[in-house]
Chain A
Amino acid sequence: MVKRSVIPFGPQHPVLPEPIHLDLVVEDERIVEAIPSIGFVHRGLESLIEKRDFNQMTYVVERTCGICSFQHGMGYCETVEKIFDVEIPRRAKFLRTIWAEMSRMHSHLLWAGLLADAFGYENLFYQCWRIREKVLDLQEMTSGGRVIFSVNKVGGVIKDMDADMLKAILETIKDVEKELKVIKKTFFDDYSVKSRLKGVGILTPEQINALGAVGPMARASGVENDMRRLGYAAYSEIDFEPVVSNDCDCYARCYVRIMEIFQSIDIIRQAIAKIPDESDLSVPIKGNPNGEAFVRLEQPRGEAFYYVKANGKPNLQRMRVRTPTFANVLALCEMLKNTEVADVGLLVVTIDPCISCTER
């Protein structure tokens, strides 16, 4: 019989930008089980509702995660707006859509870079991050912040994009598109990349459904699940089809994410074409929220779920976020079974883990 041993992976590991710990039970080089232990980034952010009022919470919720920070703020605001039962101005909806897609672009480019690094293409990693900087410049120009925007508020947004900015966005995304087409070839056609990604980390659609995986993970296994279709913000007025692949492996996940960057570019173009000219960016909010509501939205990593309960006081009664990585970690543990130790870094990266979201 082969001897079993346990290899600890993390919390501090070169491929991991964030701490997560996995105990890998291995037989020779094969992994039989992966046991995650989390909690290294748990801050107890949801408990801050006792000390901050519902307006201040917007800024706390944004700091759930630095990568999808805008989308967290948006999700929270939409939930509280639902309790107040207000409709935000149309322009604000479009602005939210544009920012949300920008953050998807930068998140996917960041991920593509980390993936390239994980399979040993340092140069490609740098290329992805170089392109990503252009998106960050747009974010800085429109919101004033590179990663944390703080442009959302309950009832709308606090900053506008003027005509020059919209023009600059169009120009930059054209540039990004052009450069992306070049690096896309390496990701999709390169022989070594293919042999590293194809057929690795298979998750069947049945497994996806049973484990509740979300976002690009699900779409890469042929499960068409995209919360943007619910039509929050301005998505109801935008025409798009979720990117789906039926390959179920790491290559498919790479394909889905890279194609989604192109999709985001397209969505931004549509949004800029349709954005109405209004001067109002927010509706006035009076009093305190009373009631409960939830909202689901599609973050770069998948479906996020927000729940808010309030009882007419400035401080909320309960605020809860269920983040996409939390849903995907189970799928990761399943995927790790029967793989080689050398693939662990790569597999962990393909779920696009965001630990600070997961643990809050």
Chain B
Amino acid sequence: MANITRSPWLLHYDGSSCNGCDIEVLACLTPVYDAERFGIVNTGDPMQADIFLITGGVNEQNIPVVKQLYEQMPEPKVVVAVGVCACTGGVFKDCYNIIGGADQAIPVDIYVPGCAARPQAIIDGIVKAIGLFQERLENSEKESDKVG
């Protein structure tokens, strides 16, 4: 992680979750867990975000919102699904309105299990996401070098 040149920014969106995972995501950013020590910054603006934390199994009405947020993020980007709902649909899998996991709407890179996902697990997911982000950044730089 030493050669990361900028802090990855983080966007969080509630894709039809029960809220349990969302408050744990927020708890990660507060002093006790303090995910910001890994250099990430929480933002509300998708156009400046690099890592997308999504919770919940995503319902029909939320699909366009989730897709739009994802598309607005600049390349490269990493998506982390937080909580078993976002991974598979969880307890709500059989609900008529739930599409069953965030990966049904957008490509997901990292899955954080748990109901609710524990802050430690979420931080682990974030750290993995930073690694992946770094990798993608390097790859895209190589690509552009080739082209240039």
Contact = CB atoms under 8 A, between A and B. Distances in A.
A129 B27 contact: yes
B61 A147 contact: no
A40 B19 CA distance: 12
Given A126-B31, A133-B30, A45 B92 contact: yes
Contact of B65 (A12, A18, A60, A356): A12
Given A44-B97, A60-B91, A130-B31, A66 B20 contact: yes
B93 to A, nearest CB: 10
Interface in B18-37: 18-24, 26-27, 30-32
Interface in A34-56: 39-45, 47-48, 51
A11 interface: yes
Contact of A40 (B16, B69, B91): B16
Contact of B14 (A41, A113, A146, A357): A41
A41 B21 CA distance: 13
Given A40-B61, A129-B27, A146-B116, A63 B46 contact: no
Interface of chain A: mostly helix, strand, loop or mixed: loop
Interface in B51-97: 56-57, 59, 61-62, 65, 69, 91-92, 94-97
A44 B98 contact: yes
A67 interface: yes
Interface string B37-48: 000000111100
B44 to A, nearest CB: 3
Contacts of A45: 92, 95
A42 B20 contact: no
Contacts of B17: 41, 66, 356
A146 B61 contact: no
Contacts of B57: 43
Contacts, number: 124
Nearest to A13: B44
Interface residues of A, number: 41
B13 A43 contact: no
A126 B30 contact: yes
Given A47-B96, A148-B115, A17 B30 contact: no
A41 B91 contact: no
A14 B12 CA distance: 9
A66 B14 contact: no
Given A51-B94, A66-B22, A110-B23, A42 B30 contact: no
A41 B30 contact: no
A356 B18 contact: yes
B19 A14 contact: no
Interface string A1-29: 00000000001111001110000000000
Contacts of A44: 92, 95-98
A129 B30 contact: yes
Interface of B: 13-14, 16-24, 26-27, 30-32, 43-46, 56-57, 59, 61-62, 65, 69, 91-92, 94-98, 115-116, 118-119
The 9 A-B residue pairs with the shortest CB-CB distance in the complex, in nearest-first order: A66-B20, A14-B44, A66-B19, A129-B30, A356-B19, A44-B95, A63-B18, A44-B97, A133-B32
